Amino acid sequence: MSIKHATIVGAGVAGLTTALSLAAKGISSDVIEQAPQLGEVGAGLQLSPNATRVLAALGVLADVERHWLEPRSIRLASGLDLRSLADLPAGEFARRRWGSPYGVLHRSTLQQALLRAVLSAPLCKLHLGRRIDGVGADALGHVTGRRPDLVVGADGAWSVARDAISGAPAVSFSGNIAWRFTVSAAEAPSFLSRGGVTAHLGPRAHLVSYPLKEINGFNLVAIAAGARSDESWALQADAARRSMLLDQFSGWHRDIRRVLSDADSPTFWPLYQASDGQWQNGRDTVLVGDAAHAMMPFSAQGAAMAIEDAFSLAHHVSRTTLPQALAHFEAERKARAARVKARGEFNRFAYHARGPVRFARDIVLALRSPESIAADLDWLYGHKIGD
């Protein structure tokens, strides 16, 4: 084993999963978080089999499964007339094909399950409400009382840990906006599937919806391309941003426009993405999750990639010297993230297609069997760390 102790900056999904993954290899960690408590951030979350496989290995999945729903299918539909375009079975099909379940849940459900596991793990120590002046091992050692062998930047798209890595990725606005909101089951229109995930597709925009057991309602995310924003973080949508939302979905089916118009307290999220860059300094510092590769949500893989990163990092640092481990981790995970980003870009093109391209897309999807669609996802959902 190349290290005995790590300090992790950030106690989100990436940071907490990293702490648990290192603990599984016998490596202790301090997790530093500037927030005084870990509250609810965001709303719904999709966890695909490549992520739930890791959570199962860490002993967290059973806790999560008590609160989530396993969708029966993942469906693509037209946002203009609501007709179904393609349907991928999930539920038991996902468990059989990829060896692990596909679930939908509130983000806080996952975070709280990870938090409970960290708090009960003897090798993990959480420090809340702690701001840091620097991310070097010595500076962090003064905060925690123990100098780490490894520093892990798990502090999201606006990472401060990047400052310790020359040539680290930079984030920039993607030109895409997400409006996130929920709808109660009692008020939900009939086009919202009670048993599955649905992506309604339309010109330059799409709408994802799925049920959330925790709120007895639905999570909805409306994403539009070609928008502008001067904001860098989420905020409540005011009248102007609500108007922008309806403009982006003009021409869509009236039932969809009605649910967008009636949305209660939608949150306006400018979407940022990370450029290429160095994820580690060759010695003792590495980035994971959004700090390394913030990406667009067109493949619903943001949380899954952070979870994979954490497990992969622990795998590598437990097997060889730290400089070699960091280099191997970076090479492996960069290749994986690049492929996921490329898939997301393909989905963006297909989901937001217009004119003749949209008609061609609909014809191709109608001709494809669920089995062939599933085969295209084997590399993504069937991925196993260490194979």
Give the pLDDT confidence score for residue 67 in this predicted structure: 94
How many residues make up the chain in this entry? 387
Which has the closest alpha carbon to 269: 158, 170, 176, 205? 176
User: What confidence score (pLDDT) does residue 228 get?
Assistant: 66
Please tell me the predicted confidence (pLDDT) of residue 41. Answer: 62
Handedness of CA 250, 256, 258, 264 (dihedral sign): negative
8-state DSSP, 335: H
CATH number at residue 127: 3.50.50.60
Tokens 């120590």, located at residue: 125
Angstrom distance (rounded) from CA 111 to CA 166: 31
Domain range enclosing 132: 5-72+100-170+274-353
Hunting for tokens 């795998």 — which residue is that?
315
Per-residue pLDDT at 40: 59
Tell me the C-alpha to C-alpha distance, in Å, between residue 102 and each of 8, 105, 300.
Answer: 28, 10, 12
* Distance, CA of 27 to CA of 114 (rounded, Å): 17
**Residue 43 within a domain:** yes
| DSSP structure class, residue 136 | S
pLDDT score at 35: 82
Distance CA 131, CA 34 (A): 5
Question: In this structure, is residue 144 part of a structural domain?
Answer: yes
Q: Is residue 117 part of a domain?
A: yes
pTM comes to 0.95
Q: Is residue 330 in some structural domain? A: yes
Q: How many other C-beta atoms are found inside a 10 Å radius of the C-beta of residue 247?
A: 10
- 33 belongs to a structural domain: yes
**Measured CA distances, 33 to 16, 160, 181, 232 (Å):** 10, 12, 27, 20
Q: Judge whether 220 and 208 are in contact, CB under 8 Å.
A: yes
* Contact between residue 196 and residue 187 where contact means Cβ atoms under 8 Å apart: no
Q: Distance between CA 104 and CA 71 in Å, rounded?
A: 7
Pairing label, strands 44-47, 103-106: antiparallel
Q: What angle do CA 17, 111, 131 make, to 5 degrees?
A: 80
Residue type, 374: A
**Helix, strand or coil for residue 152?**
strand
Domain total in the chain? 1
- From 92, 44, 91, select the one nearest 303 (Cα to Cα): 44
Residue ranges of alpha helices (H) inside the chain are 13-24, 49-57, 61-65, 91-98, 107-119, 137-144, 239-248, 254-261, 290-293, 302-317, 322-351, 355-367, 370-376, 378-381
pLDDT tens for each residue of the chain, 387 residues long: 679 999 999 999 999 999 999 999 999 999 999 887 776 566 799 999 999 999 999 999 999 999 999 999 999 999 999 999 999 999 999 999 999 999 999 999 999 999 999 999 999 999 998 888 778 888 898 889 999 999 999 999 999 999 999 999 999 999 999 999 999 999 999 999 999 999 999 999 999 999 999 999 999 999 998 766 666 666 777 888 888 889 999 999 999 999 999 998 888 889 999 999 999 999 999 999 999 999 999 999 999 999 999 999 999 999 999 999 999 999 999 999 999 999 999 999 999 998 889 989 888 888 899 999 999 999 999 999 986
Q: Which pLDDT score is estimated for 34?
A: 87
Q: Are 69 and 137 in contact (CB under 8 A)?
A: no
Residue 200 in any domain: the answer is no
**Phi, psi dihedrals of residue 382, rounded to the nearest 5°:** -90, 5
Q: Which neighbouring-strand residues pair with 302?
A: none
In a domain, 360, yes or no: no
3 state SS of 215: helix
Q: What is the CA radius of gyration of the chain?
A: 21
Q: What is the DSSP letter of 47?
A: E
Please check whether residue 129 lies inside any domain of the structure: yes
